[in-house]
Structure 1
Amino acid sequence: MFEFGRDLKRLFGVEAEFKNAWREGLTGGDTSLLELLDVRLLTNEARSADVVAGRIGTKDRGARLLEAAVIWRELARRSGDATALRKGAAQAEAAVKIFEAERRHDGLAAARCEQAVLAMLGADLFGDEGLVAAASATLARTPANHRTALCGALSAGLEGRAALAEGDLDRALAAVQAFDAPLGALAAAKRTKGGAARLQLADQRSARIDLILTCAARLKDRALAELAAAEAKTALEGVDADFEPLAWSRLETLRGAALAQLGDLDGELSRIADGVQAMSAAVEVLSVDHSPMDWARAQAMLGAALQAMGEASTSERVFEQAVSAYDRATHVLKVQPALALRAQVANNRALCLARCAELTADLAVLDAAELAFKAELAEVRGGRDPASWAVAQMNLARLYEARVEITGRDDGRLARAGIALAAAFDIFSELGLRSLTDLAAQGLQRLQRAPAA
C-alpha cells in the first residue's frame, strides 16, 4: 500500500517536494493525489491523517490538522456523509486555534478558507443556507492584508449565492466578474505549486461556471450560457482525466449542462444532444465506488438534460431514459435521505413519469409510481427518518397533481396533495432544510393556482 503511495508521488513528480513532509498514508500529505483514491481508501487516509495530527511530538500540528480537515472534507464531498463533514470542521477549527496562538497569518488564512469551504459544502449537500452565512462570517475575520487568492474566490462565490437567494441578478453578475482577479492569481500559483493548486483552481472555476449557468437560466440569456460553455472548455484544457478524474468529470458535466441550456434556449435538439453526450462522457470516467456523490450528481444532471430533450422532441423514449438516469442517482442518494439533491431528483423523476403518462395516455405509469411512493412511506417511519418521509410525501403529491392535470378531473387528489405538501413543508422547516422547504412551498403555491387554471 505504501509503495503504491510512493508510485503515485513519482507519477506526479512530487516526490522531492514531500521528501521531508508527513509520510504516512497513501498520499504522504499531497492532497493532489486524493482524486485517485476511492472512498474506502480515502476513509483510511482520513483516519491516518487524524492519527498523525494527534500524535505527541508531531511537528507543525496546525498544518497536520489542516491536512486532515481537507481529507475529511473530500470524503464528505464524495459520500455525502455528515459525520465526515463534522470531523473536517472540527479539525479545521483546531487548526485555526493553533495558528492563532502561533500568530501564523498564512496558516490562519488557509484554515479559515477551509472552514468556509466546509460550510459551503454543507449548504450544498443538506440545503442549510445558514451555513453560507457562517462561511461569509468566517472569511470576513481574515484581515485584508492577509487575504489569499482562494479567499477572494470564495468570497465571490458566497456573494453570488447570496445575490441569487435574494433574486438580485445584477449583483450575482457582479460576483461573476469578482472571480477574475482571484482566478488569475490561482492560475499563477498553479504554475509554481503544482497539483494541489491546479485542483483548487479547477474547483473555483467550476464554482464560477455554475454561477454563470444559474444566472443564464434565470435571465434566459444565451450569451451567458455560451460563456459558461466556453469557460468550461478552457478549464478542461488544464485538467487531465487520467490523473484528475473528478475535477475533469465535474467540469465536463458543467460543459454539458451549458450546451443543453443553449439548445433549450435556441430550440435546437442537436445542441441538447451534444450536452447529453458530454454528460455521458463525464459519467464514464466515474464509478460509484470512487465517488458516489459525483456519480449521482452527474446522473442527475444527465437526467435533466434528457428531460429537456424529451420536452423538445415530445419523445416518450427520451423521458424513459431520463427516468432511468434519475433512478441511478436515487440508488446512491437514498443512503443519505437528508441530501437536498435527493428531493430534486425525485421531483424531476415524478415530472418525467407524468410526461410519459401524458404522452402515452397510460395512467398505469402513474399508478405504479404512486404505489412505489406509498410503499416507501410505509417502510420509512416519520419519527425515525423525518427528512426521507417528507421527501416521499412531496413527490407523491406531485404525482397526484400530474394525474389531475392529465385527466382534467379532481377526485380529491389535490386535497391529498395539499396535505402531503403541508406536512413536508413543516418537517423541512423544523429541520432547517431551506432548499427542500422552498420546493415544498412552490408545490403549495402551485396548488393554490390550480382551481383558477
Structure 2
Amino acid sequence: MGQSGRYEPDVSLYELMTLELLITQGRGLDVEGGRVSTRSRFEPYLESALVWREYARRTGDTLALSKATTAAEAAGKAAKTLSEAASAALAQAEICLLGYDLFETAELLASAETLVATGRGAIGGDAPLLAAFTLTEGRLAARLAVRQGIGEDLEPALVAMAHIDRAIERFDALVRQTKAAKDKISAADARLERADLLMLVGLDRHDSRLMTAVINDLTALLARLDADYEPVTFVRVTQRLALAHVWAGQIDGQPQMISEGIALLTPQEEVVTYEHTPLDWVAQTHFRALALQALSELTQEDRLAEQAVAAFDLALSKALAKPLSVRAQIVNNRAACLARRAELKGDLLSLDDAEAAFKAQLRQVKPGEDPVGWAILQTNLGRLYVARGDITGFMLDRAEAAYALEAAYEIFSEHGLKSLAEAAMENLNRVRAQA
C-alpha cells in the first residue's frame, strides 16, 4: 500500500525477474483475480496488467500485450474507489502507449488520450498517482509530436517537454520523500523520455548542445543506478547515453565521441542477456550497428562498415516478430548502410548482393498482409537503384524504382509514418532528377 492507502505494486522487482518468472507471476495473478473468494479483485488484476506489460515491453509479445489489456480492463471494472479507477485507467493508457511503441498503431494514441482524460479527474491528492499521470501525459504528447514530425514547428515537442519536466520534478520529490525503488525507476523513465525527445530535436536541428545536455543528465542518472538491482533500467540509460555520444560526434565530426558511444554499447560483461530482455539486447546490437556505421562514414574505414553490417545481421538473426517496428527500422537501416557503403566504394557487386537479398525478402512478404513491411522493402530497393544510378551515371531501373517508391510513399503516408514517407519521397525525387 502507498501512503494514501492506494495499492501500489513494486514494479522495481520485475527487473530482477526472468521471463519465466514473469509468466508464472502473471498467470498466478490472473487466477487470483478470477476466484470468487478473492476479497478485492482490483489488486491482482492491476498487478497482472503491470506484469504482462513488463513481459511485452521486453519481448514484443502480442499475446502478453493482450493479457495486459484484459487485466487492466478487469481492474477498472473491479475498482471500488476513484483512485482505483484512475490507477486502472493509467495502466490501460500505458499499455496503449507501449503497443504504439512496439507496432506504431496510430489508433492506440487516441485510446491512450481518452484514458488519460478519463482518469485525470479521479486522482485527487495522491502524489505518486499524479506524478505517474503527468509522465504518461508527457509520453503521449511526445509520441504525438514525433508522429507530426519535428520540422519547423517545435510547439508539440515543447508541450511534451513541459509535461516530462513536471513529471521529473514530482518523481524526484517522491524519491527524496520515500526512497522507494519504484519511484527511483519512474524518475529514471521520465529522464529517458526527455533524453529521447531532446535527441530527436537535436538531430533535426543538427544541434550537438542538446546531445551534450543529454550526456550530462544521463551520466549523473547512471551514477545513481545499481546494475545489480536495476539492471534493465541501467541498460536502457546506458544505451541512450551511448546514442547521445554517437549523435554528438556525428554532428560535430568527432570520431572520438562516436568511439566513446561504441565503448558504452560494447561492455566487457553483459548487464542483461538476450534471454532476460530480448528487445533491449536487440536494441543495443542495433545501436552498436548505427554507431559503427556513423564512425565508418566519418573515418572512411571500410572494416567499420563491415562490422556495422554484421551487427545489423546479428540483430535481425534473433526471432523478431514481423509487425514489430524495431524490426522494420533495423531492416531499413541495414539497407541504408549497404547502399552508403557501396556509394562510398563505388562497389556495384555489393549493390547486386543487397538487391538480391531484398528481392528474396519481397517474395516472402504480401502487401495485403504486411503493407508497411512491403513498403519498407520497396523503399530499400529504390534506394539501391538510386545508388547504382549515382555510381554508373544512368539508371536502367528508373521506372521500377519510381513505381516502388511512389507505392511506398502512399503506404507510409496512409499509416502516418512521417519519417519513412519523407525518406521515400527524397529517393523518389532523386530518381526523377536522374531522368
TM-score, structure 1 length as denominator? 0.85
- What secondary structure does 2:433 align onto? coil
Of 175, 179, 194, the residue aligned with 1:208 is: 194
Report the Cα distance in structure 2 between the residues aligned to 1:177 and 1:438, rounded to whole angstroms.
24
The 8 Å contact of residues 386 and 430 in structure 2, kept in 1 or not, is answered as no
2:85 aligned partner: 108
1:415-434 map, 5 Å: 415-425=399-409, 432=415, 434=416
Once the 2 structures are TM-superposed, how far is the Cα of residue 422 of structure 1 from its aligned partner? 4.1
Q: 1:446 corresponds to which letter in structure 2? A: N
The 8 Å contact of residues 112 and 139 in structure 1, kept in 2 or not, is answered as yes
1:312 aligned partner: 298
1:243 aligned partner: 229
Matched residues, number = 422
Q: Are 1:133 and 2:98 an aligned pair?
A: no
Report the Cα distance in structure 2 between the residues aligned to 1:43 and 1:417, rounded to whole angstroms.
46
Of 119, 122, 138, the residue aligned with 2:99 is: 122
The 8 Å contact of residues 354 and 402 in structure 1, kept in 2 or not, is answered as yes
Report the Cα distance in structure 2 between the residues aligned to 1:183 and 1:49, rounded to whole angstroms.
31
The sequence identity of aligned pairs, in percent, is: 38
**Where do 5+ consecutive residues of structure 1 fail to align?**
1-15, 23-28
Report the Cα distance in structure 2 between the residues aligned to 1:321 and 1:206, rounded to whole angstroms.
28
Q: Are 1:154 and 2:154 an aligned pair?
A: no
Of 168, 175, 178, the residue aligned with 1:183 is: 168
Describe the shift of the 1:180–1:335 C-alpha distance in structure 2 as closer, same or farther (beyond 3 A). closer
2:52 aligned partner: 72
Report the Cα distance in structure 2 between the residues aligned to 1:132 and 1:400, rounded to whole angstroms.
36
Calculate the aligned-residue CA RMSD, in Å. 2.7
The 8 Å contact of residues 382 and 427 in structure 2, kept in 1 or not, is answered as no
2:209 aligned partner: 223
2:283 aligned partner: 297
Report the Cα distance in structure 2 between the residues aligned to 1:53 and 1:394, rounded to whole angstroms.
47
Q: 2:143 corresponds to which letter in structure 1? A: R
The 8 Å contact of residues 283 and 295 in structure 1, kept in 2 or not, is answered as no
Q: 2:205 corresponds to which letter in structure 1? A: L
Report the Cα distance in structure 1 between the residues aligned to 2:44 and 2:218, rounded to whole angstroms.
33
Once the 2 structures are TM-superposed, how far is the Cα of residue 128 of structure 1 from its aligned partner? 1.9
- What secondary structure does 1:59 align onto? coil
More divergent stretch after superposition (77-86 vs 145-154):
145-154
The 8 Å contact of residues 79 and 291 in structure 1, kept in 2 or not, is answered as yes
Report the Cα distance in structure 1 between the residues aligned to 2:431 and 2:231, rounded to whole angstroms.
46
The 8 Å contact of residues 65 and 91 in structure 1, kept in 2 or not, is answered as yes
Q: 1:442 corresponds to which letter in structure 2? A: A
Report the Cα distance in structure 1 between the residues aligned to 2:269 and 2:131, rounded to whole angstroms.
31
The 8 Å contact of residues 93 and 115 in structure 2, kept in 1 or not, is answered as yes
Of 241, 245, 259, the residue aligned with 1:273 is: 259
1:323-342 map, 5 Å: 323-332=309-318, 335-342=320-327
Report the Cα distance in structure 1 between the residues aligned to 2:374 and 2:269, rounded to whole angstroms.
29
1:39 aligned partner: 19
TM-score, structure 2 length as denominator? 0.88
Q: Are 1:255 and 2:232 an aligned pair?
A: no
